Copies of this chain bind each other. A is one copy, B any other.
Amino acid sequence: MGEASMSLKAALADVSDEVDRRFDALLEVPDDPRADLYRAMRHAAIGGGKRLRPLLTHATARLFGVDRDCSGRAGLAIECIHVYSLIHDDLPAMDNDDMRRGKPTVHKAFDEATAILAGDCLHALAFEVLSDPATHADPFVRAELVLDLARAAGPSGMAGGQMMDIEAERSNFDLLAVTRLQALKTGALIASAVEAGAILGKVPPEGRTSLRGYARDVGLAFQIADDLLDHEGDEAKMGKRLHKDADAGKETFLSLLGVDRAREQARMLVDQALTHLHSYGAEADLLRDIARFTLERDR
């Protein structure tokens, strides 16, 4: 957990419990031939991960006095998308990973067909959760949440970034191309987690500019930190295979900038993220802690 502040530690622990509880309720195993499908979703969704995205949604939503159940449901939907993307990314045809968060990946613990379907189901459930009236009483808010998350997940966002990542093995990406790849692959969903908090708070789009700047900077800093952890981290603690990009000959922030400049760049992005929050008071301290945490985490 590195140097995370006490309040951030508590917030991370809280949101982990909460997301597990929400997944437990969402993914009750039925007594029919779909039981393994639900078990596979539970295997991937429950008991792991930093829950950074749901925490960002809560931390943003609290700026605008949003009901915590609403932001919890929106965070759950975003985590559904994140978890589905991990299941599909781990497949043999994609990254071919056997371990994730210290456990066998879904296609290893079950089989490939079940893993593909478990990912597809979590993908659909994200939008079922968001569009349910329980997420927000105002249908305009629900529709906007769906629109933003669908864009963040699809070809202009996460899945598009994943495709770029595949192409990155075949061609030489420069710093601009890697930045764009990561802005889509991991940045879009992190941005959507922050945006969801503002949408729930009924902040009009023109009032979200500084929060969008914050999210963009945090997303990039998070990815650079990920590259550094991949380089310096401990496979046992990380619970997954490391050095994959280097082994695949893919360019990363680290390979393009080197360790020192990458670390400096991440620090600069965190400072910039904090600057975007200057108009907010103590109510944004959790967002500030999250920005600093991107550099300090050790897994």
Interface of A toward B, CB cutoff 8 Å = 32-34, 36-38, 41, 84, 88, 91, 93-94, 107, 111-117, 119-121, 123-128, 130-133, 138-140, 142-144, 146-147, 149-151, 153-155, 157, 159-160, 162-164, 166-168, 171, 177, 180-181
Contacts and interface: CB of A to CB of B under 8 A. Distances in A.
Contacts of A143: 131, 133, 139, 142-143, 146
Given A127-B146, A163-B36, A113 B94 contact: yes
A155 B37 contact: yes
Nearest to A149: B127
A177 B115 CA distance: 23
A177 to B, nearest CB: 8
A91 B164 CA distance: 21
A195 to B, nearest CB: 14
Contacts of A32: 164, 180
Given A111-B93, A124-B123, A160-B34, A116 B88 contact: yes
A125 B146 contact: no
A211 to B, nearest CB: 21
A8 B142 CA distance: 37
Given A120-B159, A155-B37, A147 B164 contact: no
Contacts of A153: 120, 124
